[in-house]
Amino acid sequence: MSNARRSERGPMMTGGTPLRSLDEEELLGHIFPAFPPGADLVVAPGDDAAVLRTSDRTIATTDTVVLGRDWLDAWSSGADIGHKVVAQNLADVAAMGGVPTGVLVTLVADPELSLEWVLDHVRGLAEVCTAAGVAVLGGDLSSAPPGVVMVSVTALGRLDGEPVLRSGARPGDVLAVHGSLGLADAGLRLLQADAPDRLPEATERQRRPEPPLAAGPQAAAGGATAMLDVSDGLLRDGGRIARASRVVLDLDLSALVPDVDALADVLGAEQALDCVLAGGEEHSLLATFPAGVLPAGWRAIGTVRAVRDDEAPAILVGGRVVTHTGWDHFRAT
């Protein structure tokens, strides 16, 4: 391979032991010891499939990250990516009102990828699983063309009550958030500007989202009528609740001032507002609750009202339509 081709691949693939020097069994022999034991794991990884003791209703979700689309080698370590891909999956389980129980992990990689990156990656994902009491059930390995690395995680979860859907918001409900808004997008912008140290909290959130997992089942038990995690931006994800529930969500801009202020010194007021309204990858939880029942840790950021004859279901800011769009994988902007 030419040096030019190697340098395109970046440090993940240019130092250490390339995966092509191992066979699959050897690689799995390195990977399995990193996984947490898992109290409900009846058959651990290594057989044709794992066996997990679980509830009678199981939540299932999957999310994938791709090098160059979801992270750059220069920004994130293997452990960061392990943390991120698991956290974003567990956030989807929490957003249904469930408790995550297990994950399956598929790594598809250029054989030049280093074993050291993979082991760091496995350590990062095992850390999140251990902290959340989640078992690693297994996964798959496959090779990929030059420069390609992707990790796909499938998460399972237990549902103790009723699932909280996107479609249950009712006029008169309060719109509330648990967690920060805009930090991960601010971190992305700072990484893109090669200035990650200007707001370390933001770059850390971009690298390692911290979804409030316990707040999902807490919200479900506390009467949440609709819920999701903010992965594509407050307005875009809020719009999904509005359309599924056939209501109008009206954001109260004054409730978002602390989020904007936390970013404005570094990014300026306009970009800070953009991050808060449209920033993806935050994985905070957004939910609606009947008025007067907001559980601890949730803060009201708006209201839910009926759709008028002359309008469609939508999310508004201070009663007005806004044009910030949020993240979309396919649309060229």
Ligand X SMILES: Cc1ncc(C[n+]2csc(CCOP(=O)(O)OP(=O)(O)O)c2C)c(N)n1
* Bind-site residues: 48, 61-63, 70, 92, 139-140, 166, 229, 231-232, 281, 327
- Among 242, 244, 254, smallest CA distance to 306 is for 242
Could you tell me where the DSSP H helices lie in 159-233?
183-192, 200-207, 215-221
Taking the complex as a whole, the smallest distance from the CB of residue 228 to Mg ion amounts, in Å, to 11
Asked whether the beta carbons of 83 and 124 are under 8 A apart, the reply is: yes
For position 88 contacting ligand X by CB under 6 A, the verdict is yes
Which residue type does 244 have? A
Q: Would you give the binding string for ligand X spanning residues 51-70, x where CB under 6 A is met? A: ------------x-----xx
Interface residue with ligand X, options 42, 60, 72, 312 (CB under 6 A): 72
Interface residue with ligand X, options 281, 285, 298, 313 (CB under 6 A): 281
For position 232 contacting ligand X by CB under 6 A, the verdict is yes
Which residue type does 276 have? V
What secondary structure, in 3-state letters, does 130-166 show? HHHCCEEEEEEEEECCCCCEEEEEEEEEECCCCCCCC
Q: Is 310 helix (H, G, I), strand (E, B) or coil?
A: coil
For position 231 contacting ligand ADP by CB under 6 A, the verdict is yes
In the complex, which residue's CB is closest to Mg ion? 63
Q: Which residues are annotated as a binding site for ATP?
A: 139-140, 166, 231
Q: Which residues are annotated as a binding site for substrate?
A: 70, 281, 327
Taking the complex as a whole, the smallest distance from the CB of residue 154 to ligand ADP amounts, in Å, to 10
Q: Which does 327 bind (CB under 5 to 8 A by kind): ligand ADP, Mg ion, ligand X, none?
A: ligand X
Which residue type does 221 have? A
Interface residue with ligand ADP, options 19, 45, 50, 63 (CB under 6 A): 63
Taking the complex as a whole, the smallest distance from the CB of residue 236 to ligand X amounts, in Å, to 9
In the complex, which residue's CB is closest to ligand X? 280
Comparing CB distances to Mg ion, the nearer of 63 and 120 is: 63
Asked whether the beta carbons of 245 and 238 are under 8 A apart, the reply is: no
Interface residue with ligand ADP, options 70, 80, 92, 173 (CB under 6 A): 92
The Cα-based distances of 274 to 175, 230, 269, 327 in angstroms read 19, 14, 9, 12
Taking the complex as a whole, the smallest distance from the CB of residue 193 to ligand ADP amounts, in Å, to 26
CA distance 5 to 12: 13
Region 271-310 residues binding Mg ion, contact defined as CB under 5 A: none
For position 282 contacting ligand X by CB under 6 A, the verdict is no
Taking the complex as a whole, the smallest distance from the CB of residue 310 to ligand X amounts, in Å, to 31
The strands making up 174-178's β-sheet, listed across from edge to edge, are 226-229, 285-289, 174-178, 299-305, 248-251, 314-317
CA distance 229 to 178: 9
Size of the site for Mg ion (CB under 5 A): 1
Region 50-109 residues binding Mg ion, contact defined as CB under 5 A: 63
The Cα-based distances of 244 to 91, 235, 267, 310, 318 in angstroms read 20, 14, 34, 18, 21
Comparing CB distances to ligand X, the nearer of 31 and 104 is: 104
Q: How far is CA 118 from the centre of its chain?
A: 20
Q: Which residues sit at the interface with Mg ion, rule CB under 5 A?
A: 63
Q: Which residues sit at the interface with ligand ADP, rule CB under 6 A?
A: 63, 92, 231
Q: Which residues sit at the interface with ligand X, rule CB under 6 A?
A: 63, 69-72, 88, 188, 231-232, 280-281, 327, 329
